[in-house]
């Protein structure tokens, strides 16, 4: 009844597709935000006295980033979603865009801390060596520091991916149809709560298990290049 009638299983698949789409979109946005913020914050932390030209700008940037991280991490995801959906973009019909934006902005705060810890874990001598050769901060970051940091970051980033995927279930509150909303709609139609909810729980679980497996493979492959 909950799955077969009226081809309802197709609705679940469509919902799952939406959830995955939201996850990918939000993670991409989160990583972009996270990289920018983490670089501003580490540049601020590692700045040497005397390079006054940029330090004023960095201090402002750092303050903004800290404020952002504090607010995003200090308020519930669902509240952020409702503010974005019903206040900031109240007139928007593009709920998918709003959802990705809200999830991405939320994720960016966590990703930035993950990346920052990854960058901090790299020996400062790497930056010094790069700078001593005449390369700029950004070049050394991109060519030397970030590629090494990514290896250390990957497990935590995988965790964030999984959290984000499950958090997509919250976007049903702003009326977007993803996997959880599908289950709710079907339950409202059939008055049978058990099968839809157990069903989607299983779907979430299977996807997370697949993600974990893929991440593990990726991690092992990156580590192998270490020992060459």
Element at 56 (helix H, strand E): helix 52-74
Binding range to another protein, per CB under 8 A, among 81-89, 96-104, 136-144, 202-210: 136-144
Among 28, 64, 88, 143, binds another protein (CB under 8 A): 143
The nearest distance, CB 110 to another protein, in angstroms, is: 25
Q: Do the Cβ atoms of 137 and 131 come closer than 8 Å?
A: yes
Among 50, 56, 74, 87, binds another protein (CB under 8 A): 50
List of residues 6+ apart from 167 with CB closer than 8 A: 77, 103, 106
Q: Does 45 bind another protein (CB under 8 A)?
A: no
Gap between the Cα atoms of 186 and 75, Å rounded = 31
Query: Could you give phi then psi for residue 227, rounded to 5 degrees?
Result: -95, 5
Gap between the Cα atoms of 27 and 17, Å rounded = 15
Q: Does 74 bind another protein (CB under 8 A)?
A: no
The nearest distance, CB 139 to another protein, in angstroms, is: 5
Q: Does 220 bind another protein (CB under 8 A)?
A: no
Q: Does 56 bind another protein (CB under 8 A)?
A: no
Q: Do the Cβ atoms of 171 and 81 come closer than 8 Å?
A: yes
Among 131, 155, 202, 223, binds another protein (CB under 8 A): 131
Binding region for another protein (CB under 8 A) = 48-53, 123, 125-126, 128-136, 139, 143-144, 147-148, 225-228
């Amino acid at each position: 009844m909950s799955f077969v009638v009226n081809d309802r299983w197709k609705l679940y698949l469509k919902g799952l597709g939406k959830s995955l789409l939201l996850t990918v979109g939000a993670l991409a946005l989160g990583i972009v935000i996270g990289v920018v913020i983490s670089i501003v914050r580490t540049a601020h932390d590692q700045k040497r006295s005397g390079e006054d030209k940029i330090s004023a700008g960095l201090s402002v940037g750092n303050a903004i980033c800290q404020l952002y991280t504090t607010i995003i991490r200090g308020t519930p995801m669902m509240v952020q979603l409702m503010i974005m959906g019903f206040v900031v973009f109240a007139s928007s019909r593009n709920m998918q865009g709003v959802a990705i934006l809200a999830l991405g902005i939320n994720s960016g705060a966590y990703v930035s801390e993950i990346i920052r810890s990854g960058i901090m874990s790299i020996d400062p001598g790497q930056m010094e060596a790069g700078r001593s050769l005449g390369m700029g901060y950004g070049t050394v970051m991109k060519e030397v520091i970030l590629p090494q940091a990514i290896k250390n970051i990957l497990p935590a980033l995988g965790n964030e991916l999984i959290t984000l995927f499950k958090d997509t279930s919250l976007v049903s509150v702003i009326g977007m149809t993803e996997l959880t909303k599908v289950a709710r709609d079907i339950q409202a139609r059939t008055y049978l709560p058990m099968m839809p909810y157990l069903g989607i729980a299983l779907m979430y679980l299977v996807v997370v298990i697949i993600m974990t497996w893929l991440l593990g493979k990726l991690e092992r492959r990156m580590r192998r290049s270490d020992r060459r």
